[in-house]
Structures are given as C-alpha cells and as structure tokens.
Structure 1
Amino acid sequence: MALRRKLFAEQRVARGYSQEEFAEVLAVAASTVVRWECGRATPQPHQRPRIAELLGITLPELGVLLSPEQSPETAPLPDTPSLPDGDDDDMKRREVLGLLAVTGVLIALPAPDGVARGRTAPALLETGEALHRSLWQVYALSDSKQSAFPAVRGQLDLMTKALAEARTAGEQTRLCRMTADLYQLAGELFFDANRYTDAAECYTLAAQAAHASGDHDLWACAMTRHAYVELYAHRAPSAQRLLTAAGRVAQRGDRTLSTRHWVAAVQAQAHAAVGDLNACERALDEAEKVHTLGGDDSRNGGWLRFDGSRLAEERGACYLQLGRPELAEEALTAALAQPLSLRRRAAVLSDLAVLGAYRRDISQVVHFAEQALGLADRSHSGFVGKKLDGLRGRLAPLLADARVSELDHRIAALPRTARREGHAYE
C-alpha cells in the first residue's frame, strides 16, 4: 500500500469507521473502499466532499492523501504549499495554535470522571503510534516538507478529542506521549517554514506532554528542538541554557537511545556560535560516541533520528562559524560524498560556497551556490533559504564580479515563508 493511501486508511480507522461502515455511509461497495486504500482506484470528484467530512479533513488535505506518489527525484512540487503566505496561512496557523492551547489544558487537567466516551481515544490508542511513525516518514522523505502539513493538522485535531475522552491514568499517559511526538513534528513543519515562534510553542507543549507521560527522551528531544529555534534566532546563550537542561533530562532517559549524543551535537553548534572552539570540539567528540551504541532506534517512531550520519556536515558548519575554514573543508567534503536528503545536501553546498567566499574563490562560490539554489527552488524550504541567506552575507566583497552579483539577486528573490516573523529575529 502506498504511504499516502495508508494514511488515508489510518485516518478512517482513527475516525472510528470500519471499511464496511465507511462504505455504507458513502453508499458504495466495501470493495470500492478497499481499492481506494490500496491505490487501485480514486474517489470521484462528487464523492470527495463527503469523504473529507467523514475523515475530518479539508478537501485540499484529502487531495494530498489521494495524489499519486513519485520518487523524490521526479516528484513535482505541489501547486499550493500547505503553508502559503496570506490569509489562508494565518487561518491554518491560528487553528493549530488554538488546538495547542486546548491540548495544554487537557494535559494539565485531565478529563473528570464520568466524561462521555467517544470513539476517538480507543482508535488512537490502537493506531496512533503507527500513524505518527508514518507521518514522520512522509516528512523525512518529502522534498517539500510542507506536504505533510495537512495530515499532521488533521491528526492534531484528533489528539485533542482523544485527550478529552481519556478515562484512565494509563490512557492519559499514552495519549500524552503521542501528543509529545506529534507536536514535535508540527514544530518541525513550522521551523522549516521559518515560523520560529510557532515552532517554539509546539516544542514547549511537546516538552510538557512528554513530562506528563514520564518519557525523558521525548522531553529532552523537545527541548533540543526548541534550542534550535534560539540558535537560528541568533540567541546562543538562550540555546545553551535549554541544552544544559535537555542534557540533564537525557541522562535520565534510555541509555540505548541516542538522545544525549544528539544534545551534545547541538551543544557543539551553540559553542560555535559564541566562539568557543575547545568546547565545540569536546561536544562533537561526545556526539561521536553515538557510533558505539549499535542497536535499532526504530522503536522511537521518528522523533529521534540522530545516528551520527550528520556529524561530518555539522562539524564543518561549526568550523565555518568559528572562522576556521581550513578545518571545515575536510568535514564538508566528506559530508558531500554521503547520500544526503535534499535539505542536507543544500546546506552542505551552501557551506562549501561560504568556504569559497572565505578564500575569495569566485569559481567555488558560483559552482556550489548554483547547485544549492537549484535545490532551494525544488524544496520551497525556509531552512534552505536561511542557509543561502548566510552565504549572501559573505558575498559583499565579491559583488564586483557579475556572476556573484547575479547569485546575490537570485538568493534575495527566493520565496520567504514567514518573512515578517523572520525579520523580528534578525
């Protein structure tokens, strides 16, 4: 079953319908629902409004679940990003932040005894963890990360309903853990769109939910993601405080997971931001110990993906920030030789272009920046745009060259999601 059709089926289950019940409401054969979910058939346009209503999602969100899947190399970009600029974008943000506020109350004040029992909580307790794992896979594999937003948005609504229905302490604990997982993913989507305040609010709620569930690794990961917000907002001291706390929490987590090593890797970036080479290298060496773990991290569901494969590019980026290009080159060259996602490759290419700018090597700047811009056009990623903005800040001494001047204009013309919010941090 294709991943998007799998999500279609899991959304049906989460809403409490069997295939037969779903088919009966839609006045179609159960075999038709089976064909939809296997990808062998697609609902007709006149059927889709009712299907979207039953699944609790919008028509555009349903369209994403029904759209054909292609490999990342050949898949076209969506015509309308899930977080576009304008009024529709603001409405979607308000919806998510409204759910966040309600969820915070439900975590702190569980439903009283005698609450009416619906179908959402039992369905999520049965299928939620698998669905969230699938959503993380969609996020990880998509060139345009915002394509995951519709399904995540629908799941946030279901999580709120499930928390309101929870009857026992055990159910509340499991649902809080799922909430911590899901709101970290929502935060990642906002972070990728350069909506740092929205991302920080999601990570804060995720940390609260993880604390309520007693899961120290989830808790530390939420705080580490929050620290990234501070780093990208150029507030390294605030990031260091968060990471110090995250490190303490991680020490109480599962020693077979890589949480504490990921915290160390991000601490290295914070040390680089304040110019502390020795502390940065100590943190990177601590992060390298992740390679001694072995084992299988698949049980964490996707919210913890640190396996050390990113350390070469992160080391190179740290050395660049510290003004040590001679140390950065070897790490960045090694990183580029690895299989990388679109966003990671764009980040390494941007850093190699920065390295060229340090050396006043215009050919190197143009070679790597051109490739990074091509990936930025494919991904619509705010993260990639931010990396190229960092390169642009290094181009001033080279602008007399026509090729560099053209690059500067192309970077400036990149679409900027949440441009206004980004300015508040710059």
Structure 2
Amino acid sequence: MGLAGHRKALGYSQEGLAHALGVDRTTVGRWERGETEPQPPLRPELAELLQLDLAELNALLPQPQAVSSESAGAPPRDHDDSGDLDDMIRREFLRLIAVTGAALALPDDETAALVDGAQRGSSTDFLRINGHLWQVYQLARSKRSVAPVVRDHLATLKDRLKGCRGAEVSELSGAAGDLFQLAGELAFDRNHYSDAAASYNVAASASHGAGAFDLWACALVRQSYIDLYDHRYEDAADVLAAASRVARRGDTQLATRYWVAAVEAEAYAGLKDLSSCERAMDEAEKVLDLSPSGQNGGWIRFDGSRLAEERGARYVQLGRLDLAEQTLMKALGQQALAQGQSYRRRGAVLTDLAAVGARRRDSEQVLSYAGEALELARASSSGYVTRRLHFLQAEFEPLSRDRRIVELGAEISALRTT
C-alpha cells in the first residue's frame, strides 16, 4: 500500500491531510505521485497523523520520478526553485543563531573558539542591501525573478553570521529576520506555503533574538496570512493577538501595531464579527497620524494607502455589497493615480469587485473585472492573484448557465498555481 492508499485507509482526503499539516492540497498530491518528498521538518507530524513511525513513512513514500515534469506532460516546474537549499539555509540560520546567542554569555577567549575565519562586513551593509531588495521585490512584475538574488544574499549573510560576536550577533540576527521575511514573501507569492511558513518562523526567531519587537511582530503577521488564505480564521486571530502583544513593546513611531490591526480586521471578517472588524479597521486608520518615517519601505510598508481596498475587501467578506462596491471603486481610483502600482493590489481589488458582481448575478461586472484580473495574473505570473481568482470561481455557481462565465472559469482553472 502506498502513501495514497494508507491515507485513504485512515479516512483522510488529500485536502484534509493538507489542512492538518498546514500545506496546500497539491503538495500532498505531489508527494503521492513521487514528484517531491515531504521536507524533514514536516515528516514527524505527517508520520503521527498517518499512525506510522518515520521508517514506515519513508518506506511508503514513492521515489522521486527520474523523468522531468515537462517530459511527463505536466506543467513545467520552475527551475529557480531550490527547496532543499533553502531548507538547508533556514536550518543553518537557526543553528547559528543558537550558537552565537550562547556565545554572548561566554568569556572572550571561549567566544573566540566558537567563531573563526569571519568575513568582515557590518550589519548596516546587510540592512542597506535588504532595503534595496525589498524595493526591487515591490516593483518587480514577476516576483520570482528576485528569488535567486535573495537566496545568494541569504547565503552571504549566513557566512557572515558564523564569525560574529558581541553586539554583532543581535544586529545580524535582525538583518536575518528582515531578509527571511522577504524570502517568505517570495515563497508565499508562489503558493509554496510550507516554505513560506518555515521562512517566517526563522524570521520570528531571529527577530526575537535581536530584541527587534517590530520586526518580530511583522513576521507573525506574515505567518498569519497562511492561516487566513486557508480560511483558518480562529488560528489567524490567535497568531495576530500574539503579534499585537509584541508590537505594543515596539517603537510607537512605527506603523507595526496599525498593520496588525488591519490584518486582525480580516480575521474578524472571516469570523463574521462586524463590530470587531470595524473596530480593528478604525484602529488601523490611526496610521494616518504617523509621520512618513513610520513605515520603512521594507519589511513594513503599511502607510494607510491600502485602507480603502482593505476595508472594501472586509465588506465583501461580510456580505455588505453596497458598502463594498463603493469602497472598492474608491480604491481602484486611488490606484489609477498612483505610480508604480502593484499587480497584487490591483488584482485583489478587481477580484473583490468581480465577487460583488457574482453575488448580484451581474455577469457583465464579473466578466469585466475578473477578465482584467486574469490578464494581470498572466502578465505577472503572480501566484497571489492566481489564488484570488481560484477563490473567486466559487462565486460563479449562480451564473453557471452563462456560457461566457463558464469559459472564464475554464481560463482561470488553466492558470498555474505553482
């Protein structure tokens, strides 16, 4: 009996097992077909769910296929993916942070035994490069193009961390917390959720070690997005409550606590709690009282420019369609006036407006807005916009007799999600 057979014998669907592990359903499918293998950090939990020990689990896993996915007729895999390398770098960072953190409590002569052959380079240099990479990521139409540069910078920072001592440990841990959030964003955009979660966890650990409360809170917020996009709203609310507590210990001149509130509003909307949602959005709007230095353009970019689109999206979740359309149209107008607008942001507003049309059974509105979002997804290869469109398909049922809507749904289904 293979992995799929054993799963079925225990009564798990692919989706159910994926939900229990916090991964995407397609990831389980790839394991069962032998296209990929579960990453080492996931194997103990997978074995426990399947009532196996690790040796029995390994015996059930099919060997990775020797032929390429292209030759098998499957969608081509992205050749800049290096999951094993990324996992190695994440594990190495956690080990190094633990070792160098312990070194802080040791005398200098013992510390010297733990650090050897260091490359010299200041944390300021790494943070400056991090900031540049965040800007490139924000402006890039194809986010995946940034991945190789981020991976190389992670490797360089890893090598530098091996040789640091004293206050440098904290400073470079902060730089690692910053950069791993960007690595997580890249994985999340491509729907590689286990990779994203691992990167956010390293970011939180490194930020904690650095005593960087705002950076730590932001890593938790990004972690909550994985629960939000899987509709695990209670789990997301728990993570965000922790982020809020951490943010309250941070810099009052930064926008962190207001970003936490904006994302909490999404969790409350998912739980159909209108009053808590609106209170959270009202709290988020206090970001407008901050000076421009309250957001740094990197790991925190929340400056209030997205408030209209976020409030509109919350009204869609809550079924308040008139309020939703009014607010989203305002957001669309603001985006049209902005320079360097994000494909992700525009795609999100367009899919929300299409959802409003679907709930009103207005085929023309669906075709107009969803059609434009579809073109954005194709032009940018954005996994985020693609995922939003796939969620939108669930709204098409009332319009299933309209041939044009059926054809649109087929085009959305053809978009690659990985």
Taking the TM superposition and a 5 Å limit, the aligned residue runs for 1:191-270 are 191-270=188-267
Aligned to 2:354, the other structure's residue is in SS state helix
2:184 maps to amino acid: G
Give the C-alpha shift of residue 182 in structure 1: 0.3
Q: Distance in 1 between matches of 2:277 and 2:124?
A: 43
Aligned to 1:153, the other structure's residue is in SS state helix
1:405 maps to amino acid: V
Q: Distance in 2 between matches of 1:352 and 1:125?
A: 44
- Following TM superposition, the consecutive aligned residue runs of length 4 or more in structure 1 with deviations greater than 4 angstroms are 87-90
**Bigger mean CA offset, 326-335 vs 256-265:** 326-335
Higher RCO, 1 vs 2 (CA within 8 Å, ≥6 residues apart): 1
Instruction: Please name the residue that 1:366 is paired with.
Output: 367
Instruction: Please name the residue that 1:51 is paired with.
Output: none
**Counterpart pick for 1:306 among 297, 302, 310:** 302
Taking the TM superposition and a 5 Å limit, the aligned residue runs for 1:143-222 are 143-166=141-164, 168-222=165-219
Aligned to 2:299, the other structure's residue is in SS state coil
Change (3 A) 1:341 1:113: same
Instruction: Please name the residue that 1:321 is paired with.
Output: 317
Change (3 A) 1:365 1:289: same
Q: Distance in 1 between matches of 2:118 and 2:143?
A: 31
Aligned to 1:416, the other structure's residue is in SS state coil
Q: Distance in 2 between matches of 1:384 and 1:204?
A: 24
Change (3 A) 1:85 1:132: farther
1:144 maps to amino acid: S
Q: Distance in 1 between matches of 2:117 and 2:407?
A: 59
1:329 maps to amino acid: E
Q: Distance in 2 between matches of 1:154 and 1:239?
A: 31
Instruction: Please name the residue that 2:63 is paired with.
Output: none
1:146 maps to amino acid: R
Instruction: Please name the residue that 1:420 is paired with.
Output: none
1:132–1:301 CA contact under 8 A, matched in 2: no
Q: Distance in 2 between matches of 1:252 and 1:377?
A: 42
Change (3 A) 1:303 1:151: same
**Counterpart pick for 2:96 among 84, 106, 118:** 106
Instruction: Please name the residue that 2:27 is paired with.
Output: none
**2:132 matches 1:134:** yes
Give the C-alpha shift of residue 233 in structure 1: 1.5
Q: Deviations over 1:323-349 (max 9, x none)?
A: 111220111001100123111111111
2:256–2:300 CA contact under 8 A, matched in 1: yes
Change (3 A) 1:351 1:126: closer
2:95 maps to amino acid: V
Give the C-alpha shift of residue 364 in structure 1: 0.7
TM-score by length of 2: 0.76
Q: Distance in 1 between matches of 2:123 and 2:209?
A: 17
2:131 maps to amino acid: R
Aligned to 2:251, the other structure's residue is in SS state coil
Q: Deviations over 1:146-191 (max 9, x none)?
A: 111010000111111111111x221101100000000000000000
- Report the RMSD for the aligned CA atoms in angstroms: 1.6
1:194–1:382 CA contact under 8 A, matched in 2: yes
TM-score by length of 1: 0.75
Q: Distance in 2 between matches of 1:227 and 1:335?
A: 24
Give the C-alpha shift of residue 116 in structure 1: 5.2
Q: Deviations over 1:206-237 (max 9, x none)?
A: 01100100110000000000001111122111
Taking the TM superposition and a 5 Å limit, the aligned residue runs for 1:71-82 are none
Aligned to 1:109, the other structure's residue is in SS state helix
> What residue ranges of structure 2 are gaps of 5+ in the alignment?
1-74, 104-110, 336-340
2:116–2:162 CA contact under 8 A, matched in 1: no
1:380 maps to amino acid: S
Q: Distance in 2 between matches of 1:119 and 1:136?
A: 27
Q: Deviations over 1:75-107 (max 9, x none)?
A: xxxxxxxxx9548466x0110111101100111
Q: Distance in 2 between matches of 1:320 and 1:126?
A: 43
**2:382 matches 1:384:** no
Instruction: Please name the residue that 1:123 is paired with.
Output: 121
Q: Distance in 1 between matches of 2:218 and 2:78?
A: 32
Give the C-alpha shift of residue 294 in structure 1: 1.8
Q: Distance in 2 between matches of 1:165 and 1:248?
A: 33
Taking the TM superposition and a 5 Å limit, the aligned residue runs for 1:335-346 are 335-339=331-335, 340-346=341-347
Instruction: Please name the residue that 2:86 is paired with.
Output: 96
2:350 maps to amino acid: L
Aligned to 2:291, the other structure's residue is in SS state coil
1:310 maps to amino acid: R
1:124–1:162 CA contact under 8 A, matched in 2: no
Aligned to 2:293, the other structure's residue is in SS state coil
